[in-house]
């Protein structure tokens, strides 16, 4: 187990490695030798009730693209990105900072009337930022200075 990631387990032996990732009740197993991956899956199925879903295509909104012959493995969040287009940000223009540097946030500029509060409640700021941060952490580090 990796200290910082309590859901990621690694095993190295004889030029072979196995990576086992846990998320709630899902397991993703990867390795550089199919025989060792199969052995690990057999051992796990003897000790736990589990179902082999075959080769992974998607995990947590990330599509896995692989070509065994070319020894290629890639990740994309194209579908995830298309789903967050509902926030209508695809035409936004990048800028140095999303807020004017001279601006300051103060309590007196918060929405006060019921109408202002209702209008602000329809602005999904936290959802937008959370979605962008997830995309940035997985496959799009290039947007980290935009968020």
The pairing of beta strand 62-67 with beta strand 58-59:
antiparallel
Nearest CA to 29 out of 19, 38, 39 is that of: 19
Region of 32 on the Ramachandran plot (φ > 0 left; ψ -120 to 50 alpha; else beta): alpha
Residue-wise pLDDT tens digits, 71-121:
888 888 888 888 777 777 666 666 565 666 677 778 887 888 999 888 888
Give 69: exposed, middle or buried? Use CB within 10 Å, 0-12, 13-18, 19+: exposed
Please give the backbone phi and psi of residue 58, each rounded to the nearest 5 degrees, phi first.
-135, 145
pLDDT for 73 equals: 84
pLDDT digits (tens, 9 = 90+) for 14-43: 899 999 988 888 889 999 899 999 999 999
Backbone torsions φ then ψ of 134, nearest 5 degrees:
-60, -45
**129 falls in which pLDDT band (50, 70, 90)?**
confident
- 65: Cβ contacts below 8 Å, ≥ 6 apart: 72, 73, 74, 75, 76
Domain ranges in the chain?
A: 8-56, 79-143
Q: Taking the model in full, what pTM does it have? A: 0.56
């Amino acid at each position: 187990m990796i200290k910082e990631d309590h859901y990621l387990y690694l095993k190295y032996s004889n030029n072979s490695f196995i990576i086992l990732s846990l998320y709630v009740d899902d397991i993703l197993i990867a390795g550089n030798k199919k025989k060792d991956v199969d052995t690990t899956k057999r051992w796990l199925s003897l000790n736990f009730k589990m179902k082999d879903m075959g080769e992974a295509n998607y995990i947590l909104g990330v599509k896995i693209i692989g070509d065994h012959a070319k020894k290629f493995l890639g990740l994309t969040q194209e579908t995830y990105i298309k789903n967050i287009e509902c926030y209508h940000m695809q035409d936004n223009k990048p800028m140095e900072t999303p807020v004017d540097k001279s601006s300051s946030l103060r309590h007196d500029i918060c929405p006060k009337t019921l109408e202002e509060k209702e209008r602000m409640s329809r602005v999904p700021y936290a959802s937008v930022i959370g979605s962008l941060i997830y995309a940035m952490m997985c496959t799009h580090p290039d947007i980290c200075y935009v968020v």
